[in-house]
Amino acid sequence: MNRRERWVNSCVHAVWARMQRAGEIVPGTRAAEAFGSLGEGSSIGFPAATVMGARSIHIGARTLVGRQVTLSVGYGPDDARLPERGLVIGDRCVVGARTSLTAHSSIVIGDDVWFGQDVFVSDASHGYQELGVPIGLQLGEHQPVTVGSGSWVGHGAIILPGSTIGRNVVVAAGSVVRGTVEDNAVVGGSPIRVLRRFEPGVGWLSAAGDLRPVLPAFLPPKVQVGGPHPRG
């Protein structure tokens, strides 16, 4: 690479870095005013993938939303039937790049929830029962989704309509969640199964029929079993 090419390359990266900083949606920007609420210290990375139904989206304080994330409520930009609080994200959350949160009725994410990249969450799917009608036109039932405070959702996980995830839950990367996950559990697989759970007074236990206390692999060696749940 010659000197001119190096200079052009450096300029492109510098300009793109400035555009990313300048394009963030943060409180006080015109784009932020379209949201139902966007808390102090929160930001949505630039560029976003899709932002739709922003007036029905509420984001708490000090929450970071990565780049190329989809935040949407409703069936289109002209949908006049949006719920008042279709997508609610709590305080101090992290939403990884390319994650898609698509709400039609209600998705509620608690405080201190961290998502890896490429996570998909939706509260509605499609029907398939009407033969001769394209599946994409068979709108499914709205089934609210909740993710409890303090939980971690790993890279590429899918949370299906009607799911309820408790507090301080680890959802392993690539998992498919449907149904209810109890508090203080580690789940994984497609469909998910409980890998570990916390038993008060005992500690973290294997759920594979072996009730001996186990130390999760992601804990540092000095963390005591039964102590505060780590961020991993």
Q: Which residues are catalytic?
A: 126
Query: What distance in Å separates the CA atoms of residue 86 and residue 99, rounded to the nearest whole number?
Result: 17
Parallel, antiparallel, or unpaired for β 107-109 and 124-126? unpaired
Structure tokens at 145: 């989704």
Query: What distance in Å separates the CA atoms of residue 5 and residue 14, rounded to the nearest whole number?
Result: 14
Ranges of beta strands (E only) in 104-206 are 107-109, 114-115, 120-122, 124-126, 139-142, 145-147, 152-153, 158-159, 164-165, 170-171, 176-177, 180-181, 185-188, 193-199, 203-206
Encode 200-213: b = buried (16+ Cβ within 10 Å), e = exposed: eeebbbeeeeeeee
Query: What distance in Å separates the CA atoms of residue 97 and residue 118, rounded to the nearest whole number?
Result: 6
Instruction: Give the number of C-alpha atoms closer than 13 A to the C-alpha of residue 220, restricted to the C-beta side.
Output: 6
Residue 16 parent element (H or E): helix 3-23
Query: What distance in Å separates the CA atoms of residue 112 and residue 122, rounded to the nearest whole number?
Result: 20
Evaluate whether 56 touches 77 at the Cβ level (below 8 Å): no
Residue 57 parent element (H or E): strand 57-59
